[in-house]
Amino acid sequence: MTEAEEKTFDSGIFLKTVGPGKTFVHRKAKDIFFSQGEEADSVFYLRSGRAKLTVVSKKGKEATVTLLGVGDFFGEESMSGEGTRRFSTASAITVCSTTRIASDEMLHVIHEEHTFSDFFMQFILKRSIRTHADLVDQLFNSSERRLARILLIMAEYGGPGAPEAMIPEVTQEALAEMIGSTRSRISFFMNRFRKLGYIEYDGYRGRIRVHKSLLNVVLRDELPEENASRPKLIDPSTRKALL
Which CATH number covers residue 106? Answer: 2.60.120.10
Is there a single domain that holds both residue 56 and residue 155?
no
Q: Residues 44, 100: contact at Cβ < 8 Å?
A: yes
Q: Residues 224, 196: contact at Cβ < 8 Å?
A: yes
How many domains, the chain? Answer: 2
> Against a cut of 0.75, is the pTM above it?
no
Nearby residues of 202 by Cβ (< 8 Å), 6 or more positions away: 208
CA distances from residue 157 to 27, 55, 118, 147, 164 in whole angstroms, order as listed: 25, 26, 25, 14, 8
Is there a single domain that holds both residue 55 and residue 170?
no
Nearby residues of 33 by Cβ (< 8 Å), 6 or more positions away: 25, 27, 44, 51, 74, 75, 90, 91, 92, 98
Helix axes 172-179, 143-154, angle to 10 degrees: 110
- The pLDDT, as a whole number, for residue 219 is 65
Share of the chain above pLDDT 70, in %: 81
Rounded CA gap, 5 and 19, in Å? 18
CA angle 239, 241, 216 (to 5 degrees): 55
Is there a single domain that holds both residue 48 and residue 32?
yes
Is there a single domain that holds both residue 45 and residue 92?
yes
Boundaries of domain holding 150: 141-242
Is there a single domain that holds both residue 170 and residue 223?
yes
- The pLDDT, as a whole number, for residue 227 is 43
Nearby residues of 115 by Cβ (< 8 Å), 6 or more positions away: 6, 7, 9, 10, 11
Is there a single domain that holds both residue 103 and residue 155?
no
> Among 82, 116, 137, which residue terminates a domain?
137
> Among 87, 111, 137, which residue terminates a domain?
137
- The pLDDT, as a whole number, for residue 101 is 97
Q: Could you tell me which of 222, 201, 220, 174 has the C-alpha nearest to residue 52?
A: 174
- The pLDDT, as a whole number, for residue 71 is 92
The answer to whether residue 168 scores a pLDDT higher than 80 is no
* pLDDT tens, residue by residue, 29-48: 899 999 999 999 999 999 99
Is there a single domain that holds both residue 188 and residue 224?
yes
Range list of H helices, the chain:
3-7, 11-15, 103-112, 114-140, 143-154, 172-179, 183-195, 215-219, 236-242
112-116, 144-148, 190-194, 219-223: segment of lowest average pLDDT: 219-223
Is there a single domain that holds both residue 154 and residue 132?
no
Is there a single domain that holds both residue 131 and residue 111?
yes
Is there a single domain that holds both residue 116 and residue 231?
no
Is there a single domain that holds both residue 196 and residue 150?
yes
* pLDDT tens, residue by residue, 73-89: 999 999 988 889 999 99
DSSP state, residue 44:
E
Share of the chain above pLDDT 90, in %: 40
> Among 137, 165, 194, which residue terminates a domain?
137
* pLDDT tens, residue by residue, 131-163: 777 777 777 778 888 888 888 888 876 554 455
Is there a single domain that holds both residue 121 and residue 227?
no
CATH code for the domain of 191 = 1.10.10.10
